Structure 1
Amino acid sequence: MRAFTDVFIKHPVLAAVANLVILLVGARALYTLPVQQFPSLESSSIVITTVYTGASAETVRGFLTTPIERAVSSVSGVDYVESTSRAGQSTITVRLELGHDSTDALAEVTARLQQVRAELPAEAEPPVVEVQRADRPYGTFYVGFTSTQRDTPALTDWLTRTLQPQLATLPGVQRVTLEGARALAMRVWMDPDQLAARNLSPGDVHAALQRNNYLAAVGQTKGDLVQVNLLADTDLRAVEEFEQLIVAERNGAIVRLSDVARVELGAEEATMVAKYRGQPSVYLGIWPLPGSNEIEVAAHLRREMARIEATLPDDIEMRLVWDGTMFMRDALKEITKTLGETILIVALVVFLFLGSVRTAMVPLVAMPLSLIGAGIVMLAFGFSLNLLTILAIVLAVGLVVDDAIVVVENVERHVRQGKTRIEAALAGARELRGPVLAMTVTLAAVYTPIAFQGGLTGALFLEFAITLAAAVIVSGFVALTLSPVMSSRFVHEHGRQARLTILVNRAFDTIRARYEKLLDAALGMRWAIVVVALLVTLAAWPLYTYSRQELAPVEDQSHISLFLEAAPDATLAAVDRASERVADAVGEFPETDFMWSLTAPWGGFGGMVTKNWLERERSTQEMFGDV
């Protein structure tokens, strides 16, 4: 009876072309896949920040945090809501359920805020809403800048005008933020005695500043040849212009700003202090686009930094303080090395057991073809090359060769029975059509259900399960199309086996004879074997119960994160002094390379970056308790 495998054996070009398409498309798919450390998760949070200058933490909680929380808590897709009320600022974080569309949630949150806007104090600024990745609410890269001559405002101004726009244009970069920056600002220091002497209040000065910070298009004038747009511009720029600003008129006398205040060009009030090795610094945070190849973004950033280094002013020092892809590169390098070692070991074992290089070529060709073919499914599902998908490929190495080995062994058996290689390939492929399909479906069915788990585990292992199942399915197709064709050409004809093949066959005959004797003995004591099997099965329960449980192994990434929480009424100077004491204590560890920190009135966070693994004796886990 004819089978569909006969078509490929009798038309080997068709089999070669079909598998060549899998090879080329799969290779192209793997080349275009983004490279990440872990699978992308639709895990987002919406952060609502409302500023109420001058209000205490209790006032912010009662008049801002409570009504906003009440409004957004009923938004669909919300997992939970957390809030922080500090003096002058309310911060509410709406954590969304895993997989919920952040765009829909953002639109609904914005609509709810409009409904409660009338309940908020008129003096409070409008709420600012932004979406953050819950799995990574910080930038992937931080570039630190220090200067021996410029203060923080001057350094901020230079970075804003020069480097921030340059780095924002790098391929794969979503945005570049300034951390610890202080923008230039005109500072007006009012004199209470002078205000009281002229019967003025700070509100009058504020109103005068608002009146003179106005820009309006009032019309257009035309001539015979040109036309000019008319603007009413009261924008003030220099200190002298602010000093001449008219605040009020008292008894026929004009009161100018210089009469009641001191004006100077300074900087905005500091809301965060950034430090590197204890020195004031300004950080540029680089946020890659979601789904981008972060390792490639890191390469672009390093090349751009090397180009910028040559043009930096002499007083400015630049360094890459934090590279979030450092561990990712090392992990991917190690797992790729493991993949290569696995392929070599499997190739050696296949060769030793088949006893012929020509025969071993059949499964050795099927193995990389199946793994590369899985890249087509990965690209179609929007997956990435990460630790879990590469792990799936490593595990699939031992699975995808099974079908091809079974096919070539069966063809070789028919050849030893006196058939020609073509006849043996036709008969062997027909016999194994059903078993190969059953084996492929069974293996795919074992791993695919992992993708349907709920929660974080299901989201993480979705790509692992589908990639592994895809590799197995492709291996089944290769085993029924290409492997019979290769077997009909590469298997030795009857009577012409290589010496190693003969030795391997004799060894298997000996092993089979001994196995038959052991099997007869085992059947004679079947109840004892059943009891042992039950004991082993029952032992699995206490072993599972007392085993450590964690989502992922704790690994040494040469970094220990530190978080500082301050009282709601703490000042920035007090928190900064506390962070300096922490940095000094951390710097005493011999394993410390440097310490970086970002400090705000509400607290702060930072990182202890240790030396390379080869340059220290203790791991970060061993240091954690002392830190």
Structure 2
Amino acid sequence: MNISERSVNRPVTVIILVAACVLFGFLSLDRIGLDLLPELNLPMAAVVTIYPNADPETVEGLVTVPIERALRSVRNIKDVTSTSMENVSFCFCEFNWGSDLGAAQEDMRVKIDTMKHQLPEGTQNPIVTLLDPSQIPMMMVTVGMPGDAGDVTRVTQELVKPAVERVGGVAGVSISGGADRIISVEYDREKLVESGLSPFLLQQLITFQNLSVPAGVIVDEGVRYQTRVGAKFTSADEIADLAIGLKTPSQSPEGIGGFLGLSFLMPTFLTIGDVAKVQETFDEAEGYTRVNGKPAVVMHVYKQSGENTVTVARQVRDAMERLGEEHSDIEIEYVFDQSVFITNSIASLAENAGIGALLAVAVLFLFLRHLGSTLLVAVSMPLSIIFAFVMMYAFKLTVNLLTLGGLALGVGMVVDNSIVVLENIFRRQELGDSPRTAAIEGTAEVSRAITASTLTTIAVFLPVVFIQSMAGHIFKDLAMTVTFSLLASLAVALTVLPLMASFFVRVSDSYIEQARRDESRKESLGGIYDKMLNWALANRWLVLGVIGAVLVVAIFSFPRLGTELLKPMDMGRVDISLRLPSGTP
């Protein structure tokens, strides 16, 4: 008993399995991540080392070269490149594809720790980090409001940024273009000298008073209390009122007056406000951002690795809307949002795939001239796609441009098996078999052929999964999706289609008569083909010459074609960059 016979003899079992697969398919589709491209784990790491106040040549000789020498002994290392800049050294390590990046990062840290003593004094600890494409900002948001840049920065840091960071899936938020609040202490040199102080001593006094350190635990009646000593400054007035010494007689205008002339017994403390001007101000901004003519701050929102970009972006927008309702003076503008481009691109691709499926059904009806049979083949397409979603979820694939491209590519292939099976079932019914016998025998006759054809097609795509390169990691999702859809179409053609054909496909006498009348049309098409074939055989050297000329043109044209990993994509926005002369303030 073959698989098609088991399916026809057990319709309830097949219907239950199909219903379960459809249910799992819709549940999987709801849980599959949505992204622009497949997740990439680039086999690259970077070592960043800061050497303050050093020129590029010094950074290269004293920092970059020793670090490079140490990194070249890391396991599975492929290449090490470096860039030395003023105050900063960058070393980039490229590993072989398939390497354990966690172990490689730990090995890099060990190598760096063993050679840190070779670095010059003042060099900060090297930072070892993996290069993660997900750390590209998924959103760029501008925050504006009435007031100066300092007010906008304060509101962004105190209200907007915490609201976004609380959203699930957000890894972090960075702010650029703002003016941070600072406390400026502008000392008077003459007053410092008169008081016997120096700028360095004034800095040390402020630093040592701006400390809060743990002081242990106090237990009182079974209750533990955490204690701290000291406090940090919170305003300019606190710094201005900080006592740093005693005033000299010349700095005390009261002289020896006061109550009973005893004020000289009451010391007058010298504060920072007596020798310096202390005020709250804003740090000088590195750039300027304007939204609709008002000062604004740019926020870069980063998502956690593996999170759904569209879902996280939607939650961020919801948080922004709630914040805008609570604070009407805050204006939010979205400069860049990956989710919008992702949604539009995938919706366009899905729409084109749907149109392709409808065209395939229309062409099929044009040749079959039988509505019931056309509908059976049409049903096999969504069933195959739904089954493919289940396998995509099981293998942790996301819905992206490549997986949808694989499904769109598979739409035209999934109907092939069903068409072959259905045509043979028709043929068996025309020969006089009952619908049930025709469904079983017709499917059994072509089962090996369509299985071999499907496996041959899969054999073309499957090796892409094992390619150890960036191209292999990108197109692996496409290859796996095509494989899943073809396997699903084979299962549908061997099980579901025979069952449905045994119930709904009936070849009537009127259809047979209509088919015989259509034979004349088929013969006319065949006659046109026969004439073309006879002409080609009679002019074989001309045909071969044309083919050879086309082949030569193709060979010479290939080296002149452009080469790139991915075609540039239209993001639907216009960016204008203006480079000013060096030294422009």
Give the TM-score range, shorter chain.
0.7 to 0.9
Given candidates 172, 180, 183, the residue that maps to 2:177 is: 180
Asked if 2 retains the 8 angstrom alpha-carbon contact of 1:42 and 1:101, the reply is: no
The aligned counterpart of 1:456 is 470
Asked if 2 retains the 8 angstrom alpha-carbon contact of 1:356 and 1:500, the reply is: no
The aligned counterpart of 2:302 is 287
Structure 1 residue 550 displacement after superposition: 2.6
- Percent of matched pairs sharing the same residue: 25
Q: With the length of structure 2 as denominator, give the TM-score of the two structures.
A: 0.85
Greater shift, 136-145 or 223-232, is seen at 223-232
Matches of 1:46 and 1:226 in 2, distance apart?
Answer: 49
User: Are positions 1:162 and 2:159 aligned together?
Assistant: yes
- Decide whether aligned partners of structure 1 residues 105 and 49 sit closer, same or farther in structure 2, where only a CA change above 3 A counts: same
Asked if 2 retains the 8 angstrom alpha-carbon contact of 1:243 and 1:256, the reply is: yes
For 1:362-373, what aligned pairs fall within 5 Å after superposition? 362-373=376-387
The aligned counterpart of 1:43 is 42
**Secondary structure class of the residue paired with 1:430:** helix
**Secondary structure class of the residue paired with 2:234:** coil
For 1:52-201, what aligned pairs fall within 5 Å after superposition? 52-76=51-75, 77=77, 79-86=79-86, 88-94=87-93, 100-133=99-132, 135=133, 137-152=135-150, 154-195=151-192, 200-201=197-198
Matches of 1:417 and 1:514 in 2, distance apart?
Answer: 29
Matches of 1:268 and 1:554 in 2, distance apart?
Answer: 39
Asked if 1 retains the 8 angstrom alpha-carbon contact of 2:414 and 2:485, the reply is: yes
Structure 1 residue 12 displacement after superposition: 2.4
For 1:288-437, what aligned pairs fall within 5 Å after superposition? 288-312=303-327, 314=329, 316-437=330-451
Asked if 2 retains the 8 angstrom alpha-carbon contact of 1:42 and 1:98, the reply is: no
The aligned counterpart of 2:201 is 204
For 1:220-299, what aligned pairs fall within 5 Å after superposition? 220-221=217-218, 223=220, 228-245=225-242, 256-258=271-273, 260-268=275-283, 270=285, 274=289, 276=291, 280-299=295-314
The aligned counterpart of 2:563 is 549
Structure 1 residue 121 displacement after superposition: 4.6
1:343-391: per-residue Cα shift (whole Å, max 9, x none)?
1101111111111111112211111111221112222222111111111
Asked if 2 retains the 8 angstrom alpha-carbon contact of 1:249 and 1:255, the reply is: yes
Asked if 2 retains the 8 angstrom alpha-carbon contact of 1:41 and 1:99, the reply is: no
User: Are positions 1:214 and 2:202 aligned together?
Assistant: no
- Decide whether aligned partners of structure 1 residues 21 and 222 sit closer, same or farther in structure 2, where only a CA change above 3 A counts: closer
Asked if 2 retains the 8 angstrom alpha-carbon contact of 1:27 and 1:373, the reply is: no
- Structure number with larger C-alpha Rg: 2
Structure 1 residue 462 displacement after superposition: 0.8
Greater shift, 403-412 or 292-301, is seen at 292-301
User: Are positions 1:9 and 2:30 aligned together?
Assistant: no
1:192-215: per-residue Cα shift (whole Å, max 9, x none)?
455555665443333323322332
Structure 1 residue 400 displacement after superposition: 0.6
- Decide whether aligned partners of structure 1 residues 11 and 521 sit closer, same or farther in structure 2, where only a CA change above 3 A counts: farther
1:491-515: per-residue Cα shift (whole Å, max 9, x none)?
2235242776555555335434655
Asked if 1 retains the 8 angstrom alpha-carbon contact of 2:430 and 2:512, the reply is: no
Matches of 1:336 and 1:119 in 2, distance apart?
Answer: 58
1:226-260: per-residue Cα shift (whole Å, max 9, x none)?
66544321433333332344557899997654455
**Secondary structure class of the residue paired with 1:325:** helix
- Decide whether aligned partners of structure 1 residues 418 and 229 sit closer, same or farther in structure 2, where only a CA change above 3 A counts: closer
AA aligned to 1:442 is T
Structure 1 residue 340 displacement after superposition: 1.2
For 1:532-547, what aligned pairs fall within 5 Å after superposition? 533-547=547-561
AA aligned to 1:443 is T
- Decide whether aligned partners of structure 1 residues 114 and 209 sit closer, same or farther in structure 2, where only a CA change above 3 A counts: farther
Matches of 2:337 and 2:63 in 1, distance apart?
Answer: 37
Asked if 2 retains the 8 angstrom alpha-carbon contact of 1:220 and 1:228, the reply is: yes
Matches of 2:5 and 2:557 in 1, distance apart?
Answer: 51
Greater shift, 366-375 or 279-288, is seen at 279-288
**Secondary structure class of the residue paired with 1:310:** helix
Asked if 2 retains the 8 angstrom alpha-carbon contact of 1:294 and 1:325, the reply is: yes
Unaligned runs of 5+ in 2: 249-266
Greater shift, 516-525 or 350-359, is seen at 516-525
Asked if 2 retains the 8 angstrom alpha-carbon contact of 1:46 and 1:130, the reply is: yes
Matches of 1:66 and 1:200 in 2, distance apart?
Answer: 44
- Decide whether aligned partners of structure 1 residues 60 and 11 sit closer, same or farther in structure 2, where only a CA change above 3 A counts: same
Superposition RMSD in Å: 3.5
Matches of 1:473 and 1:406 in 2, distance apart?
Answer: 16
AA aligned to 1:396 is G
1:279-319: per-residue Cα shift (whole Å, max 9, x none)?
653122111222322222232233332322222253x4321
User: Are positions 1:446 and 2:460 aligned together?
Assistant: yes
- Decide whether aligned partners of structure 1 residues 509 and 421 sit closer, same or farther in structure 2, where only a CA change above 3 A counts: farther
Asked if 2 retains the 8 angstrom alpha-carbon contact of 1:371 and 1:471, the reply is: yes
Structure 1 residue 42 displacement after superposition: 0.8
The aligned counterpart of 1:34 is 33
Matches of 2:191 and 2:93 in 1, distance apart?
Answer: 48
AA aligned to 2:349 is I
1:155-200: per-residue Cα shift (whole Å, max 9, x none)?
3222222121111122332222222334333333344455555665
Structure 1 residue 58 displacement after superposition: 4.7
- Decide whether aligned partners of structure 1 residues 516 and 558 sit closer, same or farther in structure 2, where only a CA change above 3 A counts: closer
The aligned counterpart of 1:583 is none
Matches of 2:73 and 2:292 in 1, distance apart?
Answer: 45
The aligned counterpart of 2:499 is 485
Asked if 2 retains the 8 angstrom alpha-carbon contact of 1:444 and 1:470, the reply is: no
Greater shift, 17-26 or 330-339, is seen at 17-26
1:114-141: per-residue Cα shift (whole Å, max 9, x none)?
33443445444444454442x4653111
- Decide whether aligned partners of structure 1 residues 384 and 159 sit closer, same or farther in structure 2, where only a CA change above 3 A counts: same
Asked if 2 retains the 8 angstrom alpha-carbon contact of 1:43 and 1:99, the reply is: no
Matches of 1:278 and 1:125 in 2, distance apart?
Answer: 41
AA aligned to 1:155 is V
Asked if 1 retains the 8 angstrom alpha-carbon contact of 2:147 and 2:295, the reply is: no
Asked if 2 retains the 8 angstrom alpha-carbon contact of 1:215 and 1:232, the reply is: yes
The aligned counterpart of 2:252 is none
The aligned counterpart of 1:465 is 479
Structure 1 residue 561 displacement after superposition: 5.4
AA aligned to 1:103 is G
Asked if 1 retains the 8 angstrom alpha-carbon contact of 2:64 and 2:82, the reply is: no
Greater shift, 482-491 or 243-252, is seen at 243-252
Asked if 1 retains the 8 angstrom alpha-carbon contact of 2:33 and 2:399, the reply is: yes
Matches of 2:451 and 2:231 in 1, distance apart?
Answer: 80
1:426-484: per-residue Cα shift (whole Å, max 9, x none)?
22112112101111101111222233334222221111111112111111111111112
1:84-115: per-residue Cα shift (whole Å, max 9, x none)?
422x4445555566555543343333333433
Q: With the length of structure 1 as denominator, give the TM-score of the two structures.
A: 0.80
Unaligned runs of 5+ in 1: 578-627
Asked if 2 retains the 8 angstrom alpha-carbon contact of 1:73 and 1:81, the reply is: no
Asked if 2 retains the 8 angstrom alpha-carbon contact of 1:370 and 1:400, the reply is: yes
